[in-house]
Amino acid sequence: MDWAASSTAQVFFLQECHQAECLWQWAEAATGAKPGWRGQWFYSPGTGHSQGCLVLVKPSTILQGCTQVQLLVDGAQGRVVRVDAEIAGRPASLVCVYAPAQPAQRAAFFGACLPACLPHATERRVLIMGGDFNCILSPDDKVGTPVGSTSQHTEDWVGSRSVGVDSWSGW
Q: pLDDT tens digits for 8-44?
A: 888 999 888 765 555 556 556 655 544 456 788 898 8
Helix (H, G, I), strand (E, B) or coil at 169: coil
Do the Cβ atoms of 164 and 46 come closer than 8 Å?
no
pLDDT of residue 30: 59
More reliable by pLDDT, 123 or 36: 123
Q: How crowded is residue 84: how many other Cβ atoms within 10 Å of its Cβ?
A: 18
Q: pLDDT tens digits for 39-75?
A: 888 988 887 656 789 898 988 778 999 999 999 999 8
DSSP, residue by residue, 102-140: SHHHHHHIIIIIHHHHSPPGGG--EEEEEEE-SS-SSGG
Nearest to 80 by CA among 111, 54, 58: 54
Task: Answer yes or no: is pLDDT of 165 > 50.
Answer: yes
pLDDT of residue 159: 63
Task: Indicate the domain borders of the chain.
Answer: 2-160
Q: Looking at domain 2-160, does it have CATH number 2.40.30.10?
A: no
